[in-house]
């Protein structure tokens, strides 16, 4: 340190211009300066040492919890990672170690009553330290920064992660971001953690912002499942690119061959033109050679123009756009265009029950008092005291509201489907006075329902006698284990021994086998002594709830199965309920249940080895009690075996499976926002029948694109061969460049639009499922294509070489006949492309008005081009007999198609024979 001080002194000497031989006064000044500087240097050294000691890590022992509050950028004494973990882990001990919520507010320099300062410098500093509240989109609350204080009320969506400051009766719905299916989670000073994406369902509060944007829980979920907007090429686009590349290579080879033949013939004198190589002597002859060479090059270039496909990309886009608009009418919104193509190949659909197969409208259909079932007509015979206990439990232990605007309207229930059904049953059928019951009791404590406990409870005090009671309600098998007594049908309390418990278990299984969700309710009175409130209870009764299947689901399932697509049910419900609903929907046939491995539970599938999963996944029809991990494992296993998998999901639990699937479909009404954003297609009406329509449209899109491929391929191949042969023999093609431009740009664009608007038919669902690896041009297409190409070659070349003689016309009229016949043949080729495998090409044509309109427009434009725009095409007017001849030759092409479609073809692809 002395060395550093000495160096600094020498440096300061030069700065202060101190003379080498100072005077006595100067010596005194120098001595004072050195003393002051050394003191400052020593003080700085000790400060640095103290700082290093403060920032050194302290070893952690078992009785202490260390919370890292080191500054991120010398602005705040806590970093973003620590704030995120504090809320995400819900660690109350860490929170208390730094002084609770007030301590966090102090570290963030936030006034818990008025919030942050709000000036530009302060907001900028917070954004630099913790980021801005921006999400993978614009929202109205993107100006929030860490340290802000946000006011929340009923109906608000929590915009950021944070901590509860103060409020009253705040309850939020966390099912949108967690795997917990509970509706209401109470947030208070003891449980102060709030998450973005959740909704306030009751109360009001003020919260301290701790994380924004991608650092929030919502942001993490969105980051993991939202699709990239820059989609990769679809499988069909890859196949089209390969086909286009192959066509270009073949066409360029043919064009090069034609160029070589013409040049060799010309320069060797084997030509009928006036200029030959022996005559070239001088500049004029050299210029003639150059002009002729340019003509030869232009002729060869015509072939190149023919082989470049003009309409493939346009046809694909138009087909996608048209199908997307039509699917909106059929209650499906496509978010990823490639999903259409993938759906055409789908082989397996994995679906849950609620929302997709069922109406998601629960209704109480069974009520058991003791071991006896009661229907609505027998409710009046139930003992009043016992009925009061049941209604008390329903009113106090069911979160939800019932609202009746006037006597003319039905009562409206606001809650989830299960709780709505119980409230509706109690109020409508049991005449429950909910307000009066709640006025007679005071709630002491509430245990909210969650997925792990599968029950909810309420501890209350009756106002009339100050007695304390507890009511539990939840899954019947769980509640039954907590009971040691039960009420019989007469309202008499009895002991629940092992024999009686077995009878109740059989009742529960019987209800579940009839696709009923079974809930039970229990009650117990407590004194002032402390005792457990989860055992030794009395069973009040069993309630069976049914979520009816959609009326059209069974037909939709049968349509999918008939199309060769397997339907697998993956649900969190128990085995009995899953089997009953699957049988009702047609997913499970009665005979299938006899085979081992058709119905399994998620844990069983999870415990299989990867090899065992691959071996048994084919037979599995139902997976009950499945977790999100089980769903994802099922999809992964199916994909590994080569299946194309579509998954239908509704909540955050389905997000992993949706991400893993080839096609993700979400529920538009009951689905969470995260799942909707992560899916490829949204089923707007939450109906499985719409899924069958999506499958049909997916196949239709693929089919329509194939139709246009056959059409364009036929035109290109025929034009290439005809022009090549004509060029070789007479040095010029039968079609001019302008005529080819007309065929490519006008005919192809209109035909692409016409074929793109073909609607799906029932026959699409009768065909076997298609695979990714099957060739784009099938054997049927090759048969149709080659027959049409051969016929057009014969007709056009006959007109080219013998047309003047046959029709006794001049060269100009002959060329017009060639052009007109070629275009009209494409008109019938367009009709033939509508039905790739059917003999009647006019079947169903009357239902497609746009297709008929395009045909009419094509004919009109062709007549105008030939008869009135002769100067553009270089054509000459035709008489009625000549027009009839052109039409007749074109009609024969349809007869050729009708004949060749009767020719049987092998199943093995034609191109595979060449590879062998």
Please give the biggest Cα pair distance in the chain.
133
Q: Which residues pair with 111 in a beta bridge?
A: 115
Q: Nearest-CA neighbor of 570 among 660, 510, 506, 641?
A: 660
Active-site residue, selected from the candidate residues 161, 183, 352, 654 = 352
| Distance of alpha carbon 544 from alpha carbon 366, whole angstroms | 5
What's the rounded Cα separation, in Å, for the pair 630 and 627?
Answer: 5
Instruction: Record the tokens describing residue 830, joined without a space.
Output: 């367009």
Nearest alpha-carbon partner for 500 in 539, 534, 535? 539
3-state secondary structure 187-205: CCCCCCEECCCCEEEEEEE
Are 520 and 423 contacting, i.e. CB atoms less than 8 angstroms apart?
no
- SS3 assignment, position 487: strand
For residue 167, the cross-strand partners are 205
DSSP state of 366: E
Instruction: Compute the distance between CA of residue 325 and CA of residue 327 in angstroms, rounded to an integer.
Output: 5
β-pairing verdict for 441-447 and 455-462: antiparallel
- CA terminus-to-terminus distance, the chain: 85
> CA-based angle 686:692:693, to the nearest 5?
90
Q: Are strands 681-683 and 663-667 parallel, antiparallel or unpaired?
A: parallel
Report the C-alpha gap between 351 and 565 in whole angstroms: 13
Interior CA angle at 621 toward 503 and 769, to 5°? 160
Do 402 and 427 contact (CB within 8 A), yes or no? yes
The three-state secondary structure class of 875 is coil
Whole-number Cα distances in Å, 130 to 83, 101, 146, 149, 258: 10, 18, 6, 15, 69
Buried b (16+ CB within 10 A) or exposed e, 199-219: bbbbbebbbbbbbbbbbbbbb
Catalytic annotation on 352? yes
Which of 170, 197, 201 is CA-nearest to residue 400? 201
Q: Helix/strand/coil (H, E, C) string of 129-158?
A: HHCCCCCCCCCCCCCCCCCCEEEECCCCEC
Integer Cα distance of 513 and 502 in angstroms: 16
Q: Are 163 and 210 in contact (CB under 8 A)?
A: yes
Compute the Cα dihedral for 381, 384, 389, 390 and give only its sign: positive
CA distance 658 to 137: 21
Q: Are 676 and 666 in contact (CB under 8 A)?
A: yes
CA distance 680 to 660: 12
* Cβ-contact 353, 581 below 8 angstroms: yes
CA distance 793 to 822: 10
How far, in Å, CA of 229 to CA of 240, rounded? 22
Q: Helix, strand, coil: what percent of the chain each, to 5? A: 50, 15, 35
From the list 720, 709, 710, 792, the residue with the least C-alpha distance to 304 is 720
Among the listed residues 136, 142, 145, the one whose alpha carbon sits nearest the alpha carbon of residue 220 = 136
Residue showing tokens 């069958």 = 692
Q: Which residues on adjacent β-strands are paired with residue 373? A: 368
**Residue 660 near residue 632, CB atoms below 8 Å:** yes
Catalytically active residues, by annotation: 352
């Amino acid at each position: 340190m002395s060395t550093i001080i000495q160096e600094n002194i020498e440096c300061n000497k030069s700065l202060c211009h101190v003379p080498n031989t100072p005077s006595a006064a100067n010596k005194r000044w120098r001595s004072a300066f050195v003393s002051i500087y050394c003191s400052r240097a020593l003080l700085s050294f000790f400060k640095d040492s103290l700082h290093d000691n403060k920032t050194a890590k302290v070893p952690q022992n078992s009785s202490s919890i260390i919370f890292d509050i080191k500054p991120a950028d010398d602005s705040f004494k806590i970093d973003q990672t620590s704030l995120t973990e504090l809320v995400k882990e819900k660690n109350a001990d860490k929170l208390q170690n730094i002084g609770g919520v007030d301590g966090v507010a102090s570290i963030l320099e936030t006034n818990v009553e008025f919030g942050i300062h709000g000036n530009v410098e302060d907001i900028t500093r917070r954004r630099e330290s913790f980021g801005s509240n921006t999400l993978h989109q614009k929202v109205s609350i993107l100006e929030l920064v860490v340290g802000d204080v946000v006011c929340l009320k009923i109906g608000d969506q929590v915009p950021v992660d944070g901590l509860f400051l103060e409020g009253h009766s705040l309850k939020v719905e966390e099912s949108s971001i967690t795997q917990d299916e509970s509706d209401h989670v109470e947030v208070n000073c003891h449980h102060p953690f709030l998450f973005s994406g959740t909704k306030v369902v009751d109360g009001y509060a003020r919260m301290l912002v701790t994380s924004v944007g991608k650092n929030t829980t919502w942001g993490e979920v969105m980051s993991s499942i939202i699709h990239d907007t820059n989609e990769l090429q679809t499988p069909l686009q890859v196949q089209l690119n390969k086909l286009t590349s192959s066509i270009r290579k073949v066409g360029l080879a043919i064009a090069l061959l034609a160029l070589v033949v013409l040049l060799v013939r010309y320069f060797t004198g084997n030509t009928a033109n006036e200029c030959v190589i022996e005559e070239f002597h001088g500049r004029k002859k050299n210029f003639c050679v150059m002009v002729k060479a340019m003509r030869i090059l232009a002729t060869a270039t015509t072939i190149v123009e023919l082989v470049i496909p003009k309409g493939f990309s346009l046809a694909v886009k138009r087909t996608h756009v048209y199908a997307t608009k039509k699917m909106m009418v059929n209650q499906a919104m496509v978010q990823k265009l490639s999903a259409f193509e993938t759906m055409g190949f789908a082989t397996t659909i994995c679906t849950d029950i609620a929302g997709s197969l069922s109406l998601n409208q629960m209704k109480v259909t069974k009520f058991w008092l003791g071991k006896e079932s009661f229907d609505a007509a027998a409710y009046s015979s139930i003992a009043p005291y016992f009925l009061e206990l049941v209604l008390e439990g329903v009113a106090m232990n069911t979160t939800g509201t019932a609202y009746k605007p006037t006597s003319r309207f039905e009562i409206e229930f606001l809650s989830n489907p299960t709780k709505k059904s119980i409230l509706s049953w109690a109020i409508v059928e049991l005449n429950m006075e909910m307000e009066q019951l709640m006025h007679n009791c005071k709630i002491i404590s509430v245990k909210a329902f969650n997925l792990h406990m599968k029950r909810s409870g309420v501890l209350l005090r009756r106002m009339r006698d100050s007695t304390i009671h507890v009511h539990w309600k939840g899954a019947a098998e769980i509640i039954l284990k907590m009971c040691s007594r039960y009420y019989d049908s007469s309202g008499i309390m009895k002991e629940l021994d092992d024999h009686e418990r077995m009878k109740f278990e059989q009742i529960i299984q019987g209800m579940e086998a009839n696709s009923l969700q079974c809930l039970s309710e229990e009650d117990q009175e407590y004194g002032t002594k402390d005792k457990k409130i989860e055992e030794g209870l009395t069973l009040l009764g069993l309630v069976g709830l049914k979520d009816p299947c959609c009326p059209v689901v069974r037909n939709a399932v049968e349509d999918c199965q008939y199309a060769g697509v397997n339907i697998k049910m993956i649900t969190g419900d128990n085995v009995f309920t899953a089997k009953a609903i699957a049988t009702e929907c047609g997913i499970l046939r009665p005979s299938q249940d006899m085979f081992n491995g058709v119905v399994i539970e998620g844990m069983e599938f999870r415990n299989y080895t990867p090899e065992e999963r691959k071996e048994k996944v084919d037979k599995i029809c139902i997976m009950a009690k499945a977790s999100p991990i089980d769903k994802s494992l099922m999809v992964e296993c199916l994909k590994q075996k080569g299946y194309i998998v579509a998954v239908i999901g509704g909540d955050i639990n389905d997000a992993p499976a949706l991400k893993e699937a080839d096609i993700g479909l979400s529920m538009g009404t009951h689905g969470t926002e995260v799942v909707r954003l992560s899916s490829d297609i949204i089923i707007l009406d939450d109906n499985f029948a719409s899924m069958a329509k999506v499958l049909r449209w997916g196949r239709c899109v693929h089919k329509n694109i194939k139709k246009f491929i056959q059409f364009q391929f036929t035109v290109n191949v025929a034009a290439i061969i005809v022009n090549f042969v004509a060029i070789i023999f007479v040095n010029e093609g039968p079609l001019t460049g302008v005529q080819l431009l007309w065929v490519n740009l006008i005919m192809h664009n209109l035909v692409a639009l016409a074929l793109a608007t073909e609607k799906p038919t029932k026959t699409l669902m009768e065909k076997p499922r298609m695979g990714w690896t099957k060739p784009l041009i099938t054997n049927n297409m090759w048969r149709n294509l080659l027959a049409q190409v051969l016929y057009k070659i014969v007709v056009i070349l006959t007109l080219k070489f013998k047309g003047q003689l046959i029709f006794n016309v001049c060269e100009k009229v002959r060329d017009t006949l060639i052009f007109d016949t070629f275009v009209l043949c494409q008109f019938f080729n367009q009709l033939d492309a509508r039905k790739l495998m059917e003999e009647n090409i006019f079947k169903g044509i009357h239902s497609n008005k746009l297709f008929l309109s395009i045909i009419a427009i094509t004919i009109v434009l062709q007549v105008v081009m030939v008869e009135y725009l002769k100067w553009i095409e270089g054509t000459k007017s035709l008489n009625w007999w000549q027009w009839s001849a052109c039409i007749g030759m074109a009609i024969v092409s349809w007869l050729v198609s009708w004949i060749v479609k009767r020719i049987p073809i092998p199943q093995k692809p034609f191109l595979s024979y060449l590879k062998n």
